[in-house]
Structure 1
Amino acid sequence: NEIVYTFTGVRGVFGTEIAFTARSGKSKGKELYIVGMDGQDLRKVTDNRSFNLFPRWSPDGQWLAYTSFRTGMPIVYLRNVLTGAEKEVIRFGGSKTPGGFSPDGVWLYAGVSQAGNSDIYRVRVVGGASEKIAEGWGLEVSPSPSPDGRRIAFVSDRGGSPQIYVKTIGIAGETRISDGTGYATSPSWSPAGDRIAYTARSGGRFIVTTVAPDGSGSREVASATDGDCEDPSFSPDGRSLVYTYRKKGYSALKIISSDGRRQRTLVSGLGDAGSPAWSPGR
């Protein structure tokens, strides 16, 4: 990785990991898991037989933010992946979906519902102070901060169906970057900031698409004739994405090159595996 970084200025992927959710045994809940990018060293992170969802890595790769229902209500926790130590980060509001950290690790962005409406907030990891970043009359969820921390991509149904929007933090207004038809969710910003991957509905199935932050240059990356491709997350060098493949009760995590030409299966055989998140470069 150091050699790659010296010559390219881009963090390599060797030794990186993917966090994801899956059912454990006969449990109806979902636990967090981590696996190496080579498919080795699979390990369970949580074991509380509840629903543990939406894992997101901190910029230093030491913490995972996630939502857990183990107390009966959704609470966003930070968990140290080495020690297992945890702390609450977001308790206020109803449903909560952490979307990602600011590049400096100071803020955690999340969609938080209150009074039947979901808006985008950012919450200080230390201290818990919160700020509302994006709001509307409908649903605003799944924020993904840009690598420079100046913008967020997020999902809103203000136009009648879920679509991807980009907003500059602190400035009014946002731009829709998905095509406005069908269904678009789960944005993930590339490390270079030049592409945003998301899940789109096309021909009755879900596919993985990437687009420039201004909405130009949309291209399909992953699709399947017999199933759905969802929940993309970029590798730290931007050359690959991990995503969820689903068909008729079966799910697997797959890694595909960002041009869509090469792919391989990362994890299969675990129940309802999904929501993969690629760790930062080492």
Structure 2
Amino acid sequence: MKSLIRIYDLATGRADTLIALDRHIEAPNWTPDGDALIVNGDGRLYRVDLNSPALGLIETGFATKINNDHGISPDGSQLVISDSTEDGESAIYTLPASGGQPKRVTPLVPSYWHGWSPDGKTLAYTAKRGASYQIYTCHVAGGDETQITNDFDHCDGPDYTPDGEWIWFNGERDGNVDLWRVRPDGGEAEKMTSGDSVNWFPHPSPDGRNVLYLAYQAGTQGHPGGKDVELRLMPTEGGQSKVLLELYGGQGTINVPCWAPDGSKFAFMSYEAD
């Protein structure tokens, strides 16, 4: 498997390859200073400088089973990871942006991080506390968690709008996976997509105008890798989506927030089978 770290430019419609790697790499974040991407692979976290692209290992202490649900605080001072080293199932931790020993946030597992509120105070994540995965939030320092959804068969991928007024996520009901948005207190849940595609991982743009997401073909179960998928863009207030790119990917392509700080570009992964 070859992993391609790529950057899509909205103005030109071009998707350029930053670096191609002969190993499995997933889920690029774009740092708030605009200088680098953060990715994961083989249970570790890496920094990729845009001016000199190569994998630079980030020290994460005992956490060596990091999955592709990781991110960066709005001020760029902290990283957040989802790691299963301690319990065998994913828990959420924070650590300094330069690397260091992780501090546990969620005592309960499984918990998978996906969004950081614009004010830097709250984390949004998907977690299984009963029969199904729902959306939860908690303070970045830990403490009691708040359940935001409760009547879906499965939820994933929560990400905040830049004004903090909404949390977008993908929610499954009766076998249909659509994009939804909900207020941070759990109110006013609104379905934002329809149709046959299986829609995952919505990411509102920094200017608040659009939402980037991953679309699988009808009938896809879960969010597998190694599939023919589309990256789509839709207006934040709803409406017709636009297909930006068709690619081979899925799991690992845009699991986490991936927009450049100025909103002109976004990072993503595509793959080439051996």
When normalised by structure 1's length, the TM-score is 0.81
Equivalent position of 1:61 in the other structure: 34
Q: Distance in 2 between matches of 1:224 and 1:261?
A: 12
State which drifts further: 234-243 or 52-61. 52-61
SS in 2 for 1:117: coil
1:51 paired residue among 24, 27, 51: 24
Q: Distance in 2 between matches of 1:259 and 1:194?
A: 12
Equivalent position of 2:57 in the other structure: 88
Equivalent position of 1:280 in the other structure: 261
Higher relative contact order (CA 8 A, sep 6+): 2
Equivalent position of 2:7 in the other structure: 34
> How far has the Cα of 1:272 moved from its partner?
2.2
1:99 paired residue among 70, 87, 92: 70
State which drifts further: 202-211 or 125-134. 125-134
CA contact (8 A) 2:28 2:254 kept: yes
Q: Which runs of 5+ in 1 are unaligned?
A: 1-27
Q: Which runs of 5+ in 2 are unaligned?
A: 219-226, 264-274
> How far has the Cα of 1:171 moved from its partner?
5.1
> How far has the Cα of 1:144 moved from its partner?
1.4
Among the aligned pairs, what percent are the same residue? Answer: 24
> How far has the Cα of 1:39 moved from its partner?
5.7
When normalised by structure 2's length, the TM-score is 0.84
Equivalent runs, 1:57-206 vs 2, <5 Å: 57-68=30-41, 73-89=42-58, 90=60, 92-114=63-85, 115-136=87-108, 138-170=109-141, 172-206=143-177
Write the deviation string for residues 118-159 of structure 1: whole angstroms up to 9, x where unpaired: 1100121224232111120x3111241111110000111122
CA contact (8 A) 1:110 1:120 kept: yes
CA contact (8 A) 1:98 1:108 kept: no
> How far has the Cα of 1:219 moved from its partner?
0.7
CA contact (8 A) 2:91 2:112 kept: yes
Equivalent position of 2:206 in the other structure: 236
> Where in structure 1 do 4 or more consecutive aligned residues deviate above 6 Å?
none
Which residue identity does 2:156 align to in structure 1? T
Write the deviation string for residues 2-27 of structure 1: whole angstroms up to 9, x where unpaired: xxxxxxxxxxxxxxxxxxxxxxxxxx
> How far has the Cα of 1:30 moved from its partner?
3.5
> How far has the Cα of 1:178 moved from its partner?
1.6
CA contact (8 A) 1:109 1:144 kept: no
User: CA 1:29/1:183 → structure 2, altered by over 3 Å: closer, same or farther?
Assistant: farther
Q: Distance in 2 between matches of 1:171 and 1:133?
A: 4
Equivalent position of 1:5 in the other structure: none
CA contact (8 A) 1:99 1:144 kept: no
Superposed CA RMSD: 1.9
Equivalent position of 2:229 in the other structure: 251
SS in 2 for 1:170: coil
> How far has the Cα of 1:29 moved from its partner?
4.4
User: CA 1:219/1:116 → structure 2, altered by over 3 Å: closer, same or farther?
Assistant: same
CA contact (8 A) 2:105 2:143 kept: no
Equivalent position of 1:3 in the other structure: none
Q: How many residues align?
A: 248
Equivalent position of 2:269 in the other structure: none
SS in 2 for 1:185: strand
